Amino acid sequence: MKQKGWLKKHGVTLLIVALLIVGICIMLYPTVANFWNGLHQSRAIATYVENVSSIEPDEYNEFIAKAREYNKKLAASGLKWNLSEEEKAEYDAQLNMMKTGIMGYIRIEKLNQMIPVYHGTTESVLQTSVGHLEGTSLPVGCESFNRRTGELDDPTECNHIVVSGHRGLPSVKLFSDLDKLEEGDIFSFTILSETYTYEVDQIRIVLPEDLSSITLVPGKDYCTLVTCTPYGINTHRLLVRGHRVNNINDDIYGMAGVSSRIRVPADALQIEKRYIVPFLMIPILAILVAFLIIVTAQKKKRRLILEEAEQKLNSNK
């Protein structure tokens, strides 16, 4: 009976608190999920970098050589949108050093993003990372790229890398801000210990079946980043294309004849302010809820005391 009485007295307060907690959880879910997935992305990249540092030079060179040979075959036959089982097996074997499907990572400076790049564009990949579109060039750069001129010495050589990522997922950011890129912005791939940098030179919005912008052009080393648009509607595709340029480090070291191969350390995880604020809000809100419960309980207690006092007063009369 006492328990039922307590529930009757505090039921409204408990309901308010429960609704408040549910509301807070709904509000914080995108930020917390994005932070959590970002942590896993950083861990995947750190593990990748650590494994790359332990590769023997001969094995390292073999990975790069096979990937470039694969690209040359594509340059001769053209990009392939439907791979046979044999072609799919050949593709999956490229740059698959860790046997997990990760081939490297992409860095987009303007968006302050660094995301693992995996083989293929299956939904399991695109839910947490970005995927390299099978049948397009691997992100290892054309071998004849001249760091002094920024052009290809071999006018017949060509690449066109295509990388796809979701936009608008509540649990992870990925390519949600891809529309903020403008011509002249840069992004880069780190594959093994090599960095390949691209400068945005074309931005187009096309229908999903329009592949006319994703073609091989002799003498050009292109990369196109693909995501859905408009935001939340996804009827079209946003294509952000870049052409290869010198790495930022090449401007300092490459011209001096120093090897451009740079062992890339795992970047420290940087937590943005917008991720910190919600975590600070949680204990503050918890204190406010506790304060609300205590104040409500005290008010009811005082009311009961007053009621008892009035009853005694009335009985004495």
User: Between the ranges 117-121, 252-256, 278-282, where is the mean pLDDT highest?
Assistant: 117-121
295 pLDDT above the threshold of 50: yes
Domain assignment present for residue 259? The answer is yes
Confidence of residue 263 (pLDDT cuts 50, 70, 90): very low
pLDDT top residue among 295 and 45: 45
Domain assignment present for residue 214? The answer is yes
Domain assignment present for residue 293? The answer is no
180 pLDDT above the threshold of 60: yes
pLDDT at 115: 95
Confidence of residue 261 (pLDDT cuts 50, 70, 90): very low
Q: 92: domain CATH number?
A: 2.40.260.10
* Average pLDDT value for residue range 16-25: 64
pLDDT top residue among 3 and 267: 3
* Average pLDDT value for residue range 63-81: 94
30 pLDDT above the threshold of 60: no
Q: For the chain, what is the HEC assignment?
A: CHHHHHHHHHHHHHHHHHHHHHHHHHHHHHHHHHHHHHHHHHHHHHHHHHHHHCCCHHHHHHHHHHHHHHHHHHHHHCCCCCCCHHHHHHHHHCCCCCCCCEEEEEEEHHHCEEEEEEECCCHHHHCCCEEECCCCCCCCCCCCEECCCCEECCCCCCEEEEEECCCCCCCCCCCCCHHHCCCCCEEEEEECCEEEEEEEEEEEEECCCCCCCCCCCCCCEEEEEEEEECCCCCCEEEEEEEEEECCHHHHHCHHHCCCCCCCCCCCCCCCCHHHHHHHHHHHHHHHHHHHHHHHHHHHHHHHHHHHHHHHHHHHHC
Confidence of residue 195 (pLDDT cuts 50, 70, 90): very high
pLDDT at 271: 44
Between 59-63, 210-214, 289-293, the lowest mean confidence (pLDDT) is in: 289-293
Domain assignment present for residue 285? The answer is no
Confidence of residue 214 (pLDDT cuts 50, 70, 90): very high
Domain assignment present for residue 135? The answer is yes
Domain assignment present for residue 32? The answer is yes
Nearest to 226 by CA among 216, 209, 238: 238
Domain assignment present for residue 220? The answer is yes
Enclosing domain of residue 174 = 27-270
Rg from Cα positions in the chain: 28
Cβ(11)–Cβ(17) under 8 Å? no
* Average pLDDT value for residue range 88-108: 95
pLDDT digits (tens, 9 = 90+) for 31-43: 555 555 567 788 8
pLDDT at 168: 79
Domain assignment present for residue 59? The answer is yes
User: Between the ranges 15-24, 37-46, 237-246, 265-274, where is the mean pLDDT highest?
Assistant: 237-246
Number of folded domains that form the chain:
1
